[in-house]
Structure 1
Amino acid sequence: MSISQKNLREILEKLNIEQLNPMQEDAQLVIESNSDIVLLSPTGTGKTLAFLLPVIAGLDTDSNEVQVLILVPSRELAIQIEQVIREMGTGFKTNAVYGGRAGSQDKIDLKHRPAILIGTPGRVADHFRKESFPTEQIHTLVLDEFDKSLEIGFESEMIEIVDSLPNLQKRILTSATQRSDIPAFVGLRNPAIIDYLHEKISELTVKTISSPSKDKRKTLVDAIHHLGNQPGIVFCNFKDTIQEVSDFLSENNIGHGCFHGGMEQQDRERSLIKFRNGTYQIIVATDLAARGIDVPEIKFIIHYQLPKHDHEFIHRNGRTARMHSEGTAYVLISENEYLPDFIRSDHFREELVKQDKGYV
């Protein structure tokens, strides 16, 4: 079953979207007509809506039990998907469960079963053990950003969850990076592949900024002043580095927010809210903000510290130059700083001249 054109127009209008992009249109057709699907598309291309539309079309309006389970690697992504479903205004109940959320609130929400349950593997597995709700009517499983869930150590919980779903009819895996090894425990059989990873869908420019000193904070401040009043993310690898950068930005009267795993959930959400509404133009973050976080269209990101792996570099860059838009990723490097192989290749299309010569 597919969503009618009338209902689709109503949903898109509620989401302030004019039309689906080619990936989303392809995903609807493929997901509707196949039982096992792998959706590969860069960050920011609208994968969430791509799988939600056909998944919602397959819901039984007469059922009072959980029918769709969406597993995600982070609470932020769980909250974001929950918000998107509610904004779609389909009338189907949805709830998100995740670590750090009060178990008593889960109990209240699950008393009246949601048609769609979103959650992190750890919290969902905990509910399965407690038999918080029946699983027999769950017919669709979505592993959103499945590679990230595996990277952060959720494999055993994911295996436990999949083994507890006896009546699955559809399995959907999504990722923003190429991964050759699909985990066997998911049980995919000849999956249909939707691969948009290599499509030219945005205009990303990558530039370097050279710092004359090992301490790159002053160069960062100069770069932010040069870039002007536009939204951007400064990426760091560690929460301690974020604190050091944050203190220096405050000393230089640059308003900003912070976002990392060491913060309380409510503090992270507060930072994102202020970033979205323009109170802050800058947010200093770890890779937690690189995937699936609902942030506004941003004009630039700065790699204050480079990630160790190329897929992390890709996800960070994906926060700017989102679908059909332009953006710039800046790599802030000090003299003699080691650059990983994936940076030394052909990523750079343009270089920012050194600080002592001014910015172009």
Structure 2
Amino acid sequence: MRYDPHRSPRVASHRRGSTLTTTFRELGILPETAEALEAVGIMSAFPIQEMTLPVALSGKDVIGQAKTGTGKTLGFGIPLLECVTVPADVEAGRAVPEKLTNAPQALVVVPTRELCQQVTNDLLTAGKVRNVRVLAIYGGRAYEPQVEALKKGVDVIVGTPGRLLDLAGQRKLDLSHVRSLVLDEADEMLDLGFLPDVERIIQLLPAKRQTMLFSATMPGAVIGLARRYMSQPTHISATSPDDAGATVANTTQRVYRAHSMDKPEMVARILQAEGRGLAMIFCRTKRTAADIADQLAQRGFASGAVHGDLGQGAREQALRAFRNGKVDVLVCTDVAARGIDVEGVTHVINYQSPEEEKTYLHRIGRTGRAGASGIAVTLVDWDDIPRWQLINKALDLGFPDPPETYSTSAHLFEELNIPAGTRGILPRTDRTRAGLSAEQVEDLGETGGRGRKSAATATPVREERPARTRTPRQRRRTRGGAA
């Protein structure tokens, strides 16, 4: 069974950019869930949510496919929360006390730590009135707090495959009571090589359960996974007639051929465009991300970095500062291309051309989310033109030969609305953000071996060597066999 939004005038009337009129209450969710969403200003559903909820709330398996930034998290999050039994349901007469348990009743598997945090926060928001206990389980943090939380009781687990298998293998995580499973961003799990781990996790779950799989794209291996572990799933694809391309229509895309030596100056000027809110800059390598974040800080911008060479505490510090507005420029590698959903991101800059078209989609998907508009700028080196042309052809973007552009080019200022005379250093009068140092680093008891970077200082942590316990052997030099 497949839902086709092109045949439904009701769904077409709620396409991106139009006024959404179908409220969550009209879709039949619990009053407590609707109350929790309304408390944070979420009233109406987006197409993927409107189409998914009636099917998922009935307990059927669902394959949900929609572009990044269209609201997939609540599309599976609300049915997931409402399948668990909590004391509030017993008090309301919807469930019997015998159904209460401290073991997890629902599981969400995600590919990255950043997405794990994002999904957990969304589920905590939607389940706040019913007091649903949601726990994030991912690597880079100490085991002990996660084990203690599991002992106290959890209703919903959101986790990355590695840490989930670790805790299940130690018998700290009991998955025998899971009624609902969600695989989020399944195509990314395929790219990262997690599908074998995901299958091992699925084999630990009860055979009778609801399974929901959500992804922006559906490669063959993901479809094969769905066929093996899902029962007659309903395939829901939410697209709109006026938004048929691979990218969302309300994201303005600009592509320029740029010289690597001039890129820092170009970026500094783009960041001073009129109407610029929060901005994200994507790089291919960890070293480039760290270097650009430092250069922007020296130019007066409140910048932070998220990349694999940082400890988990430093990564979370940068993300919190970005969400709280203390930092308005976040420089990332593709580890953050999924999972960061921050309101107010107006600009995404691809400092280096992505490796493939899927990476491009997820990078620029950080802006233009949930009906808002955004600008995506891609700077392509001369050496990267062949790679970019493959991406352009695959996505049919219409930028096969980007114009040669420098930080002084008139068309750069005109197309991106940069005030005339702007230089690559932020004026002191505009330096109003508190900066990364204003956000404290949380001590996570990070796991990792020799050379792991500490959260607070991002410098290698040296292991202490044990003191000598014996006198070293003395060697005497001999010549011709005699002392």
1:209 partner SS: strand
Gaps of 5+ in 1: none
**Alpha-carbon distance change, 228 to 135 in structure 1, aligned in 2, over 3 angstroms:** closer
1:122 to 2:134 alignment: no
1:212-231 to structure 2, matched below 5 A, reads 212=259, 214-226=261-273, 229-231=276-278
| Alignment deviations for residues 230-269 of structure 1 (CA, whole Å, 9 cap, x no partner) | 2111110111011221232233222211111221111111
In the alignment, what sits opposite 2:288?
Answer: 241
**Alpha-carbon distance change, 194 to 227 in structure 1, aligned in 2, over 3 angstroms:** same
Distance, in Å, in 2 between the alignment partners of 1:163 and 1:190 is: 19
Which of 389, 406, 418 is residue 340 of structure 1 equivalent to? 389
Distance, in Å, in 1 between the alignment partners of 2:218 and 2:197 is: 23
Which of 295, 302, 309 is residue 356 of structure 2 equivalent to? 309
2:380 partner SS: strand
In the alignment, what sits opposite 2:108?
Answer: 70
| Alignment deviations for residues 112-136 of structure 1 (CA, whole Å, 9 cap, x no partner) | 2211111111111112212224332
Q: Between Structure 1 and Structure 2, whose CA radius of gyration is higher?
A: 2
State the Cα distance separating 1:202 from its structure 2 match: 4.7
State the Cα distance separating 1:210 from its structure 2 match: 3.7
1:132 partner SS: coil
State the Cα distance separating 1:37 from its structure 2 match: 1.2
| Alignment deviations for residues 41-66 of structure 1 (CA, whole Å, 9 cap, x no partner) | 12211111111111222223332121
Distance, in Å, in 1 between the alignment partners of 2:269 and 2:365 is: 24
1:124-163 to structure 2, matched below 5 A, reads 124-163=164-203
Which of 325, 348, 357 is residue 409 of structure 2 equivalent to? 357
**Alpha-carbon distance change, 141 to 121 in structure 1, aligned in 2, over 3 angstroms:** same
Residue type of the partner of 1:184? L
1:15 to 2:64 alignment: no
State the Cα distance separating 1:348 from its structure 2 match: 4.3
In the alignment, what sits opposite 2:417?
Answer: none
Residue type of the partner of 2:332? A
**Alpha-carbon distance change, 228 to 28 in structure 1, aligned in 2, over 3 angstroms:** closer
State the Cα distance separating 1:334 from its structure 2 match: 3.7
2:330 partner SS: strand
1:110 partner SS: helix
Distance, in Å, in 2 between the alignment partners of 1:152 and 1:332 is: 26
Distance, in Å, in 2 between the alignment partners of 1:52 and 1:248 is: 40
In the alignment, what sits opposite 2:340?
Answer: 293
Distance, in Å, in 2 between the alignment partners of 1:81 and 1:336 is: 38
Indicate the RMSD between aligned Cα atoms, in angstroms. Answer: 2.4
Contact kept in structure 1, 2:283 and 2:351, CA below 8 Å? yes
Residue type of the partner of 2:235? I
Contact kept in structure 1, 2:114 and 2:338, CA below 8 Å? no
Residue type of the partner of 2:105? Q
Farther-moved stretch of structure 1 (21-30 vs 185-194): 185-194
1:66-215 to structure 2, matched below 5 A, reads 66-88=104-126, 89=128, 90-181=130-221, 182-184=223-225, 186-197=228-239, 200=243, 202-212=249-259, 214-215=261-262
Residue type of the partner of 2:38? E
1:266 to 2:313 alignment: yes
**Alpha-carbon distance change, 105 to 5 in structure 1, aligned in 2, over 3 angstroms:** closer
State the Cα distance separating 1:198 from its structure 2 match: 5.8
**Alpha-carbon distance change, 100 to 197 in structure 1, aligned in 2, over 3 angstroms:** farther
| Alignment deviations for residues 194-252 of structure 1 (CA, whole Å, 9 cap, x no partner) | 11256636501111234355552222223223456521111101110112212322332
State the Cα distance separating 1:40 from its structure 2 match: 0.9
**Alpha-carbon distance change, 348 to 205 in structure 1, aligned in 2, over 3 angstroms:** farther
Farther-moved stretch of structure 1 (293-302 vs 314-323): 293-302
In the alignment, what sits opposite 1:52?
Answer: 77
Contact kept in structure 1, 2:37 and 2:125, CA below 8 Å? no
State the Cα distance separating 1:353 from its structure 2 match: 8.0
Distance, in Å, in 1 between the alignment partners of 2:70 and 2:45 is: 10
Farther-moved stretch of structure 1 (68-77 vs 248-257): 248-257
What is the TM-score when the length of structure 2 is the normalising length? 0.69
**Alpha-carbon distance change, 151 to 17 in structure 1, aligned in 2, over 3 angstroms:** same
Contact kept in structure 1, 2:47 and 2:238, CA below 8 Å? no
Residue type of the partner of 1:77? L
Q: Percent identity?
A: 30
Runs (4+) off by over 4 Å: 2-5, 212-215, 348-353
In the alignment, what sits opposite 1:26?
Answer: 51
State the Cα distance separating 1:8 from its structure 2 match: 4.1
| Alignment deviations for residues 263-306 of structure 1 (CA, whole Å, 9 cap, x no partner) | 11111111112212222221111112211223223111011111
Distance, in Å, in 2 between the alignment partners of 1:8 and 1:138 is: 21
Distance, in Å, in 1 between the alignment partners of 2:74 and 2:252 is: 27
**Alpha-carbon distance change, 349 to 15 in structure 1, aligned in 2, over 3 angstroms:** farther
**Alpha-carbon distance change, 311 to 19 in structure 1, aligned in 2, over 3 angstroms:** same
| Alignment deviations for residues 179-205 of structure 1 (CA, whole Å, 9 cap, x no partner) | 344243751233211112566365011
**Alpha-carbon distance change, 85 to 24 in structure 1, aligned in 2, over 3 angstroms:** same
